[in-house]
Amino acid sequence: MTRCCDAFTNRRVLITGGLGFIGSNLAARLVDMGAEVLLVDSLIPQYGGNLFNIAGIEDRVRVNISDVRDEHSMHYLVQGQEFLFNLAGQTSHLDSMNDPYTDLEINCRAELYILEACRKRNPDIKVVFASTRQIYGRPEYLPVDEKHSIRPVDVNGINKTAGEWYHLLYNDVYGIRACSLRLTNTIGPRMRVKDARQTFLGLWIRLLVEDKPFEVWGGEQLRDFTYVDDAVDAFLLAAASDDANGRVFNLGGDCVISLKELADLLIAINGSGEYVIRSFPADRKRIDIGDYYADDNLIRSVLGWEPKVPLREALARTLSFYRANLPHYL
């Protein structure tokens, strides 16, 4: 990462969703690089934003509690910024089915507000969008590369697709430099662990730390995981390189693992713990994508990114963070 460190020294950076899991980890890295960081977050209670996520850097960032659905705020907030990491989002797939309009407003319509604000007030800004592997739907082949068809299985996947494509459109039509990272399951300190709304793994970690059994649904499914520091590397590389403009990149992990193997690994690292295998709840099964793992060769070759933190280490660091800090996340 040394190669792009200098790109952010004394540079003005806006992070939407900056009090969330990935946004706050990105903010911590950027302030260490000497960037002037502004975090915009709505802190809607059931989402992943948490003021504790910036404990230790709160004096080195500016925080604006705003909603990206507020067009007027966005017009003001993008002004003077050199980089925009666009991470604000409604992230629950199930919630997007139960309340599709809220997902539409946040993950689709608000992206247009943000991009229109850039077009009208700050067309020189560079934007990196946080997209998701969910947009591919059920894989037709594995590993999934960026050429895979887009066939979302839930409302969230459709709105994230639109959000991503607006960014590409504004890059192509208006020259607002933008690119998109299609994240797979990202894990690490500051992830939401309260319940399984966002990710099953968060709840597993919470229950392990509380010394309670957790549920593994199915168990045979294959997944890959990116440690949050590696995801942050990817955001910074994508922001710093004009080779990324107008492109989409998958992020993957250092290995592929079944959910049952993941549960066993977590328990081995923790030194104790129990789980029960259950069948998928019906409402989740309907929108489940089955096995998934990414082909991330494109970002490796174009931007020189690679995941550096092995899964075992990623899980150990995450467990240790929640052992020390769980009450702040309940």
Ligand X SMILES: NC(=O)c1ccc[n+]([C@@H]2O[C@H](COP(=O)([O-])OP(=O)(O)OC[C@H]3O[C@@H](n4cnc5c(N)ncnc54)[C@H](O)[C@@H]3O)[C@@H](O)[C@H]2O)c1
Residues binding ligand X (CB under 6 A):
17, 19-23, 41-44, 47-49, 67-69, 87-91, 106, 130, 132, 183, 185-186, 192, 199
* Closer CB to ligand X, 3 or 255, in the complex: 255
Query: Residue 184 in 3-state DSSP?
Result: coil
Closest CA to 243 of 295, 171, 306: 171
Residue 220 Cβ, how far from ligand X at the closest point, in Å?
21
Residue nearest to ligand X (CB): 20
Residue 188 Cβ, how far from ligand X at the closest point, in Å?
9
* Closer CB to ligand X, 56 or 175, in the complex: 56
* Closer CB to ligand X, 211 or 255, in the complex: 255
Question: Rounded to whole angstroms, what are the CA distances from 61 to 56, 57, 64, 68, 236?
Answer: 10, 7, 10, 19, 17
| H or E element that contains 209 | helix 200-209
* Closer CB to ligand X, 43 or 112, in the complex: 43
Q: Starting at the edge strand that comes first in sequence, how are the strands of the sheet with 178-183 ordered?
A: 61-65, 36-41, 12-16, 83-86, 126-132, 178-183, 248-250
**Bridge partner residues of 276 (DSSP):** 215
* Closer CB to ligand X, 23 or 137, in the complex: 23
Residue 131 Cβ, how far from ligand X at the closest point, in Å?
7
Rounded Cα gap, residues 312 and 206, in angstroms: 17
Residue 184 Cβ, how far from ligand X at the closest point, in Å?
7
Residue 20 Cβ, how far from ligand X at the closest point, in Å?
2
